[in-house]
């Protein structure tokens, strides 16, 4: 395990001594304390940690939905003002708009940002094809399965070509089989596009399967415990999960999570 | 009393669940009708209290000519008041939710006017607008707008934050989110309030007509009361009811169409039987 020091290029995301807490200046309860991380362009980074370590909060801060208490987040060197499609987010809960059809959901962001109709139609058609929902484009979300709705969610965010795609335990609410299928499909979609992704999960195997680097976040307070490189060959198929190298990494990661400060054993 | 039993056996001779269900639905109304006829025949009460069927028919013949114009008057007034009140109330709710400035400036006035018993305003409206259609429409509009305003505000407050968050991370601004997320989400929630407001409109209309109109169904009811024509009153109340049921059915049909995307329609089986939709 090593701390990745990165290169000389400017990081895509620079999380600079971030603090987030509740309370006043006298007695602040910090959920996230002195969290610093650089994520580079086209990186796929996962953040893992025990429940309540603040990883979802971290993602919301990057997205601009929550304000930092101290410190800042820079995207391409600049501090963004509030949420926006440059940091599109896929949530764990069902965020697909039930009153719109699949097609209307996917084109939502482009309509909101004023993309002209012709361009929109092409982009939506490609997005539908990318997630395999072309035939279902006129259906309402209540007519779709959980996995299909998740695909709509992903297409809706990726069509905005965000600088950073933020994913907050997106597959956590799905059953194991759908989850694995979506993981594999997502890798296939992501590989040609290679946008920067920050992926929060509590599933260690998922983190190791999908990402190039795994950041372990401690709890109470939440900070960077360590960063692990995942040097497995890409693109990865599901079979990599059964290889010895993968299982060894998984064991080590589990060990870190158990024994670290605020980890699963140290309560 | 051989009437009802022979009717029942006739029905039972068709086989199948549908006729049995129909029987279950009709049996109470039929028994009530029979009881009414019997009571009237046996003259258990004075005719002023329970008029016999012949009096109903005579009353119908007497009112037949003036009924259509009275219905038209009542209908136009009630529906105008209802439409104005619903539109105004919803708009008020939306504006108060959208703009903090509006909330701060108008909030106190709104909170103050809300609990005023609307019926108490009838005399005021008559003094302001004179006797005629205006005070009636004003009353109905006032009553319905308060209901709709409060419901709209509450419905907006209860929009699940995840939809707003998703819209924000996709590039939506305040205005866009109100149009494309908040509004569609609250429509099914408003429909319930709209149905209640429609029913309330009829009540408000009756009160308004009692107080000072020269035409319409409510006016006719007062006239019937003055001449001790119980049968006429019952008939007119039945007409009112029919109008209310028709408007409610129309709203229900619109509701079905507009809530196509909600999970409600997927509730078949056990869930539906518990929440009463089946």
pLDDT digits (tens, 9 = 90+) for B243-271: 889 999 999 898 888 887 876 555 566 76
Measured CA to CA, the distance from residue A169 to residue B114 in angstroms comes to: 45
In a 13 Å sphere around the CA of B17, the CA atoms on its Cβ side amount to: 0
Mean pLDDT over A39-67 rounds to 91
Digit-coded pLDDT (tens) for B208-221: 888 777 778 888 88
**Bridge partners for A171 per DSSP:** none
Task: Report CB contact under 8 Å: A84, B263.
Answer: no
pLDDT at B233 over 60: yes
Q: State both tokens at B202.
A: 């009829």
What is the pLDDT at residue A8? 60
Query: Which residues, in sequence order, are CB contacts of A230 under 8 Å at separation 6+?
Result: A208, A211, A212, A213, A214, A249
Mean pLDDT over A137-152 rounds to 92
Task: Report CB contact under 8 Å: B166, A65.
Answer: no
Mean pLDDT over A192-217 rounds to 92
Task: Report CB contact under 8 Å: A142, B263.
Answer: yes
∠ CA B84-B151-B194, nearest 5°, is 50
DSSP state of B130: -
Task: Measure B252 CA to nearest chain A CA, in Å.
Answer: 19
My answer on whether omega of the bond before A221 falls inside 30° of 0, hence cis, is yes
> CA nearest B144: which of B180, B195, B73?
B195
Measured CA to CA, the distance from residue B66 to residue A244 in angstroms comes to: 92
> CA nearest A42: which of A74, A78, A64, A13?
A13
Query: Whole-model pTM?
Result: 0.80
pLDDT at B278 over 80: no
What is the pLDDT at residue A2? 39
Give contacts of A95 with chain B, Cβ < 8 Å.
162-163, 165-166
User: What is the SS3 assignment for A141?
Assistant: helix
Question: Which of A16-25, A47-56, A204-213, B140-149 shows the lowest per-residue confidence on average (mean pLDDT)?
Answer: A16-25
DSSP alpha helices (H): ranges in B158-182?
161-169, 174-177
pLDDT band of residue A27 (cuts 50, 70, 90) is low
What is the pLDDT at residue A25? 65
Partner residue opposite B169 with nearest CB, options A85, A100, A111: A85
Measured CA to CA, the distance from residue A44 to residue A55 in angstroms comes to: 16
* pLDDT above 70 coverage of chain A, percent: 93
Digit-coded pLDDT (tens) for B79-133: 999 999 999 999 988 988 888 888 888 888 877 877 777 778 777 877 887 777 7
In a 13 Å sphere around the CA of B46, the CA atoms on its Cβ side amount to: 5
Give contacts of B268 with chain A, Cβ < 8 Å.
none
Question: Which of A129-143, A175-189, B172-186, B249-263 shows the lowest per-residue confidence on average (mean pLDDT)?
Answer: B249-263
Burial class (CB in 10 A: 0-12, 13-18, 19+), B266: exposed
> CA nearest A90: which of A60, A127, A110?
A60
> CA nearest B253: which of B200, B203, B195?
B195
Q: State both tokens at A230.
A: 């995942």
What is the pLDDT at residue A50? 85
Q: In whole angstroms, how far apart are CA B12 and each of B19, B21, B22, B54?
A: 7, 11, 10, 31
Measured CA to CA, the distance from residue B213 to residue A157 in angstroms comes to: 60
Task: Report CB contact under 8 Å: A85, B261.
Answer: no
Task: Report CB contact under 8 Å: A83, B163.
Answer: no
Using CA coordinates, name the residue in chain A closest to B188: A99
pLDDT at B12 over 60: no
DSSP state of A236: P
DSSP state of A227: E
Q: Which phi and psi (to 5°) does residue B213 adopt?
A: -110, 165
Using CA coordinates, name the residue in chain A closest to B261: A99
pLDDT at B151 over 80: yes
Residue B212 near residue B131, CB atoms below 8 Å? yes
Question: Where is pLDDT greater, at B46 or A187?
Answer: A187
Partner residue opposite B171 with nearest CB, options A100, A112, A141: A112
Q: Which phi and psi (to 5°) does residue B149 adopt?
A: -60, -50
Burial class (CB in 10 A: 0-12, 13-18, 19+), B145: buried
């Amino acid at each position: 395990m090593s701390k990745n020091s990165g290169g000389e290029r400017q990081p895509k995301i620079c999380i600079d001594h971030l603090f987030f807490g509740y309370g006043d200046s006298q007695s602040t309860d910090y959920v996230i304390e002195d969290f610093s991380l650089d994520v580079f362009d086209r990186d796929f980074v996962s953040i893992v940690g025990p429940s309540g370590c603040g990883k979802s909060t971290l993602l919301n801060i990057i997205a601009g939905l929550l304000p930092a208490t101290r410190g800042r987040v820079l995207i391409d060197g600049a501090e963004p003002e509030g949420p926006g499609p440059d940091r599109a987010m896929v949530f764990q809960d069902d965020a697909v708009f039930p009153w719109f059809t699949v097609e209307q959901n996917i084109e939502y962001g482009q309509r909101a940002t004023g993309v002209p109709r012709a361009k929109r139609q092409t982009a939506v058609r490609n997005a539908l094809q990318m997630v395999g929902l072309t035939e279902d484009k006129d259906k309402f979300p209540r007519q779709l399965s959980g996995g299909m709705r998740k695909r709509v969610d992903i297409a809706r965010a990726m069509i905005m070509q965000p600088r950073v795609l933020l994913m907050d335990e997106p597959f956590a609410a799905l059953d194991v089989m759908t989850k694995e299928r979506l993981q594999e499909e997502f890798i296939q979609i992501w590989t040609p596009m290679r946008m920067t992704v920050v992926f929060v999960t509590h599933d260690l195997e998922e983190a190791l399967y999908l990402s190039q680097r795994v950041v372990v976040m401690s709890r109470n307070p939440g900070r960077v415990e360590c960063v692990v490189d995942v040097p497995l060959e890409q693109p990865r198929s599901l079979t990599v999960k059964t290889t010895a190298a993968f299982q060894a990494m998984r064991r080590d990661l589990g060990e870190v999570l158990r024994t670290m400060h605020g980890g699963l054993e140290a309560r | 009393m051989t009437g009802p039993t022979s009717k029942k056996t006739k029905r039972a001779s068709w086989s199948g669940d549908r006729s049995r269900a129909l029987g279950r639905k009709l049996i109470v109304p039929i028994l009530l009708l029979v009881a009414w006829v019997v009571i009237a025949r046996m003259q258990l009460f004075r005719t002023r209290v329970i008029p016999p069927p012949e009096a109903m028919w005579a009353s119908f013949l007497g009112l037949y000519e003036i009924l259509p114009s009275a219905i038209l008057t009542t209908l136009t007034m009630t529906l105008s008041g209802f439409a104005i009140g619903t539109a105004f109330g919803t708009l008020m709710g939306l504006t108060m939710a959208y703009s903090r400035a509006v909330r701060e400036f108008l909030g106190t006035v709104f909170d103050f006017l809300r609990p005023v018993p609307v019926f108490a305003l009838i005399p005021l409206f008559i003094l302001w607008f004179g006797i005629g259609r205006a005070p009636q429409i004003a009353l109905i509009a006032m009553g319905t707008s308060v209901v709709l305003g409060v419901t709209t505000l509450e419905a907006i407050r209860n929009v699940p934050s995840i939809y707003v968050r998703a819209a924000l991370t996709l590039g939506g601004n305040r205005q866009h989110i109100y149009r494309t997320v908040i509004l569609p989400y609250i429509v099914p929630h408003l429909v319930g309030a709209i149905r209640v407001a429609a029913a309330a409109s009829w009540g408000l209309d009756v009160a308004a007509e009692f107080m000072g109109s020269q035409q319409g169904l409510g006016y006719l009811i007062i006239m019937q009361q003055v001449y001790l024509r119980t049968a006429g009153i019952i008939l007119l109340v039945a007409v009112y009811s029919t109008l209310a049921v028709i408007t409610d059915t129309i709203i229900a049909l619109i509701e079905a169409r507009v809530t196509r995307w909600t999970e409600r329609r997927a509730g078949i089986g056990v869930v539906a039987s518990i929440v009463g939709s089946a």
